[in-house]
């Protein structure tokens, strides 16, 4: 009888243990189910964020890909001065039209010292831009040959050189050779002055250095 009672007690204890284990397993299943739900929710959130980032990047790419005039009213430096008031900022003031071939009718223009070599005009674009075109309006009344030999740089990359005297120069950057720059530099290595009416830089951007699309 004592043995039978002991067996019954052990059976009851085992049943209780089994019930506790079952309850524990059920709670664990509930927790696993909750975690799976949270994981699925996080996956959905991550997917939504990724979609939003793709949309934002696409819109950013579309906005920054617009080719426009990026040099107007930007800061400009020059290496020397020939006359007071002939400041380099005049090449980005948007004024390059005049009525007749007479010096008194021409809009103001900068002029460097013609006795020193390596004269430079540097346009600071204010950010990293993709350069598509640089257009230069030469003076019209005389001395157009002074610009011959001038090299045009986008940062350190040369994108053109004036090889003949012309009233207007246009230097295009090939689509197959994307060029990014923060500055456009006109460099006359010879002992000639730089006196030009206007420089237009056409480009897209600005871009972050880690987020270039081409």
- Provide the strand spans (E) within the chain: 68-69, 75-78, 119-138, 151-154, 157-161, 168-172, 180-188, 196-207
DSSP per position, 94-111: S----SSS-GGGSPP---
Q: Tens digit of pLDDT per residue, the chain (214 long)?
A: 556 666 556 655 666 667 677 777 777 777 877 777 777 777 777 777 676 666 656 655 655 578 999 999 999 998 877 666 667 788 898 887 765 666 666 666 777 777 778 999 999 999 999 999 999 999 887 889 999 999 999 999 999 999 999 999 999 999 888 999 999 999 999 988 888 889 999 999 898 877 665 5
pTM recorded for the entire structure: 0.69
């Amino acid at each position: 009888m004592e043995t039978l009672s002991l067996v019954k007690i052990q059976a009851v204890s085992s049943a209780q243990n089994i019930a506790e284990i079952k309850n524990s397993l059920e709670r664990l299943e509930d927790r696993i189910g909750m975690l799976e739900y949270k994981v699925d929710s996080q996956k959905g959130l991550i997917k939504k964020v990724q979609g939003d980032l793709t949309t934002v990047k696409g819109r950013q790419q579309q906005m920054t890909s617009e080719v426009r005039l990026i040099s107007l009213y930007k800061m400009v430096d020059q290496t020397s001065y020939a006359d007071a008031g002939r400041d380099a900022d005049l090449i980005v003031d948007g004024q390059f039209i005049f009525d007749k071939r007479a010096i008194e009718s021409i809009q103001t223009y900068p002029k460097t010292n013609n006795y020193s070599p390596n004269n430079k005009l540097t346009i600071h674009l204010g950010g990293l831009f993709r350069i598509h075109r640089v257009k230069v309006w030469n003076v019209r009344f005389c001395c157009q040959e002074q610009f011959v030999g001038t090299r045009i740089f986008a940062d350190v990359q040369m994108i053109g050189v004036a090889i003949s005297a012309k009233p207007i120069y246009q230097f295009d950057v090939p689509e197959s050779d994307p060029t990014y720059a923060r500055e456009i530099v006109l460099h006359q290595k010879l002992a000639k002055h730089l006196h030009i009416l206007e420089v237009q830089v056409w480009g897209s951007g600005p871009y972050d250095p880690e987020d270039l699309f081409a």
